[in-house]
Structure 1
Amino acid sequence: MKDMRQQITVGIVCLVWLALALLTGETLSPTPLRLFSAAGTTVAIAALAHDRSLWRWKLVRRFTGTPLLHGTWRGEVITSVVREDGTQVPPIPAVLHVVQSASRVSVSLFTADSLSTSTHASLLRGEDGRWCLRWQFTNQPRPGARHRSQRHRGVAELWIGAVPGEGLHGEYFTDRRTYGELILAEWSPRRYGSASTALAATDFALAAPYASG
């Protein structure tokens, strides 16, 4: 989206320049048009490079303040769900995988029983300067867990800790009228495809989203 806006801006500048040249009777030379074309291409390439990778550089993020969430987070879900016998479900080990670029973010949450994927996600900065990751999700229980949990939807919100080790902490709500907390303090730059693999991994460390790079 940012790339398109920048290309549109360059295109508008070119059109305005062309209109002014025609209105004033200036002779059109191919050289300025080539320069504008080259400028538009350069802007598009630079915007793409920034969106894909340059935004992760520590120097760039010190300027923008954007936290680095891209990678895999490990922690637990504390749910309001109560078992049939009336006992509270204990904290559930969970793994959150975040795919992040400068312009977009997507989220997948793994547990032993289900997989939740985001249908819409955004990284926002509050008025107090704190960053928040919000997303809407669809939860798909694994076949062995469908007798006690059906497919459902919900929303989640995680606040990003400012101090290394604080990690991500927030809450979620579902259309089943359940809710709970998400606490994710450990982070790895690697991508894991299952909760069991990530929970057994040894390359996780206390997260530092504003210093990682």
Structure 2
Amino acid sequence: MGTTTTVRTGATIAATLYTLVLLVLGLYPSQFRYLFAYIPAAVGYSVIVFDKWAWRWPVVHRFTGRPRVDGTWRVMLSPSPASDIPEGGNRGPITTYMTIEQTFWSLHATLRTMESTSRSDNAAISSPENSGTAEIGFLYTNAPRVEHQQRSPRHEGACRISVTGLTPRAATGHYYTSRFTAGDMDFMLLNRSTGYGTFAEVQTDDPLHTAG
């Protein structure tokens, strides 16, 4: 469980317990003189609603300055010619899919290829500068399928992505891995779904694949 999820869960429990205590003591919100006693609970719930949902609402989103990048993206990886790719490895371009789960204060990314799955261990997003461009950084761990582990062992990596605007639908980036590989990344938003479980499942919803 991430830090943000832990804080959000704690805030929910605290606000709920506080409300229950007030009700047990007979301090009902329908009585105006007790209404202000519920302000701490209301603030707690409001923070949770904002983090998970409200920051995306069009009017609110305009003022947050936080790009919305949640959803599933088609990502084309183009390894650098200098990358240390073992014999039999894919030298690209490689079609992959990245699913990003996002709240206002948290990000989690899962990148899927036909051979492996990478999950973010740490992620951060900067607010857009005057240019309207924001930077997203991920540290991740890659776990190949068993059939590929002899050639492509488990490894770590990092990527940095540049997005422009509050609701970007395309982006660029680059990645590095502990296997001494690096390359460029080109993103295209497929949809806002984050419920995919496998590479093949996402591929069936990719117009580029179905058109082929």
- TM-score normalised by the chain length of structure 2: 0.73
Segments of 4+ in structure 1 off by > 6 A?
none
Share of identical aligned residues, percent?
Answer: 26
Instruction: Look up the SS of the partner of 1:125 in the other structure.
Output: coil
CA contact (8 A) 1:188 1:203 kept: no
Aligned pair 1:189/2:192, yes or no? Answer: yes
Instruction: Look up the SS of the partner of 1:168 in the other structure.
Output: strand
Alignment-mate amino acid for residue 188 of structure 1: N
Superposition CA RMSD, Å: 3.1
Between 152-161 and 76-85, the greater mean CA deviation after superposition? 76-85
Query: Which residue is equivalent to 1:60?
Result: 60
Aligned length: 180
CA contact (8 A) 2:117 2:144 kept: yes
Larger radius of gyration: 1
Alignment-mate amino acid for residue 97 of structure 2: V
- TM-score normalised by the chain length of structure 1: 0.73
CA contact (8 A) 2:174 2:185 kept: yes
Distance 1:39 1:163, change over 3 A: closer
Query: Which residue is equivalent to 1:209?
Result: none
Between 187-196 and 44-53, the greater mean CA deviation after superposition? 187-196
CA contact (8 A) 2:161 2:174 kept: yes
* C-alpha distance in 2 between matches for 1:120 and 1:132: 14
> CA offsets per residue over residues 119-154 of structure 1, 9 Å max, x none?
111111254542111111000011121121011011
1:116 to 110, 115, 118: 118
Q: Structure 2: which 5+ residue stretches go unaligned?
A: 13-30
> CA offsets per residue over residues 49-102 of structure 1, 9 Å max, x none?
111111111111111122211111112111234555699712111100100001
Instruction: Look up the SS of the partner of 1:89 in the other structure.
Output: coil
Query: Which residue is equivalent to 1:200?
Result: 204
